Amino acid sequence: MDELPTTPEAANHASTETVLKRAGIDPTPLRLAVIQVLAREGRALPAGDILALVQDQHRANKVTLYRILDLFVEKGLARRHSSGDRALRYCLEPGSAGRPHCHAYCLRCGRMECLPGVEGVVDMAALGPALAMEVVAVEVRIDGVCAACRRKPSVPETPVDAGSGNS
Amino acid sequence: MDELPTTPEAANHASTETVLKRAGIDPTPLRLAVIQVLAREGRALPAGDILALVQDQHRANKVTLYRILDLFVEKGLARRHSSGDRALRYCLEPGSAGRPHCHAYCLRCGRMECLPGVEGVVDMAALGPALAMEVVAVEVRIDGVCAACRRKPSVPETPVDAGSGNS
DNA sequence: TTCGTCGTGCAACTTTGTTGCATTGCCCGT
DNA sequence: ACGGGCAATGCAACAAAGTTGCACGACGAA
Ligand SMILES: [Mn+2]
Ligand SMILES: [Mn+2]
Ligand SMILES: [Zn+2]
Ligand SMILES: [Zn+2]
């Protein structure tokens, strides 16, 4: 089953199907399209953006998309994060390893990049009082202005539409 | 110079007014009620909760509340945080120091407690790639189950049809 | 076939927050 | 006192993101 794919496209399709199956998820065309969008973009996207990208190839409904995203999160395939704006964002586990990771959110363009895992970044011991709680997850988000945006004139343009040139 | 009252109670009328004035905010009755609720609760509250608490004493409209909260955030009096559910939460700077701090969010009861500052908790150097961004804020949230909730039966309300005389 | 489940779609709804505009009270210059 | 701004508040309508209820077609098991 570890055949070398001949093209990146084929690799993407073949391996995402395998990923879904191994997670116990029936690899329907729509689910494949969703996971491929997430894999291709490699960062945390709001559902609206995912829908727009998926719809480039597939007719799709937002309710179904939300259900697919919930399923991915439930099965540990994807993670859901909040960005401080109103929309939650979804990303794959980078490297398909199941480790939680930090994010960087650009307040100007709305891009949310995945960063290394939280291990070594957060010193849980320094949070004394927090340890009164049974920890389930640790969210770390760096808000700021990304390199690309800093290079651009700081035009007070339309603020953060969470859109990335799609649709 | 910035002597805080020795008791939290004393803080509740005389000093909240001073805090507002020093922040350049006209201390209207409604604004005083809002900051007093935040000071009294000492944790991060969603706007809906703040409105309910304020309305115990004061007739108030949600639009005005949102505008007051925006103003507090803009003037650096309060902070806005996301909790993973879709309501943003507001808290005062603990100790009236202007330092950002971490939070603990209970997934069961929804309480969001303020924790110590992020200094000493997050190792920014460990985030290599993130440093491509000009950092504006660092959000750290610990999700889990708080001590109080862990003590309670894990299922608050289950539609189990045990023989309790319900037909 | 008949049945049940699964994946999807659509409309209506809920929650959270925002916009537009009216009203009220206050300060300020006349 | 008068009148014009202006700040603070309120109300209704709106908007974005997500959820619920229900229907429908596909498909496989009985
Ligand atoms: Mn991520
Ligand atoms: Mn706080
Ligand atoms: Zn950017
Ligand atoms: Zn709790």
Taken in order of first residue, the domains within chain A and their CATH numbers are 8-151 (1.10.10.10)
If you count them, how many residues does chain A have?
167
Question: What's the pTM value of the predicted model, to 2 decimals?
Answer: 0.85
Give distance in angstroms: CA of A50 to centre of ligand 2.
Answer: 32
Tell if the CB–CB gap between A126 and B129 is shorter than 8 Å. no
* Strand D–CB B86 distance below 7 A: yes
Give nearest nucleotide to A161 (CA–C1').
D16
Measure B48 CA to nearest chain A CA, in Å.
16
Give distance in angstroms: CA of A118 to centre of ligand 3.
Answer: 22
Task: Give residue B48's pLDDT.
Answer: 98
- Binding-site residues of A for Zn(2+) sit at 106, 109, 146, 149
Q: Which amino acid, one-letter code, is at A86? A: R
B145 touches chain A (CB under 8 A): yes
Q: Which amino acid, one-letter code, is at A20? A: L
CA distance B17 to B33: 10
Task: Give residue A98's pLDDT.
Answer: 65
Task: Give residue B98's pLDDT.
Answer: 65
Task: Give residue A7's pLDDT.
Answer: 52
Residues lower than pLDDT 70 in chain B: 1-14, 94-98, 130, 154-167
SS3 label, residue B160? coil
B101-125 b/e with 16+ CB inside 10 Å = b? bbbbbbbbebbbbbbbbbeebbeee
Contact B20, B26 (CB under 8 A): yes
Q: What phi, psi does B39 have (nearest 5°)?
A: -65, -40
Tell if the CB–CB gap between A84 and B122 is shorter than 8 Å. no
Task: Give residue B15's pLDDT.
Answer: 86
Count CB atoms within 10 A of the CB of residue B27: 15
Q: Which of A43-52, A101-110, A125-134, B38-47 is the least confident region? A: A125-134
Q: Which of A66-80, A112-126, B25-39, B91-105 is the least confident region? A: B91-105
Of the partner residues B127, B138, B145, the one whose CB lies closest to the CB of residue A134: B145
Higher pLDDT, A86 or A163: A86
Look over chain A and give the mean of its residue pLDDT values, rounded to a whole number. 84
Tell if the CB–CB gap between B121 and A127 is shorter than 8 Å. yes
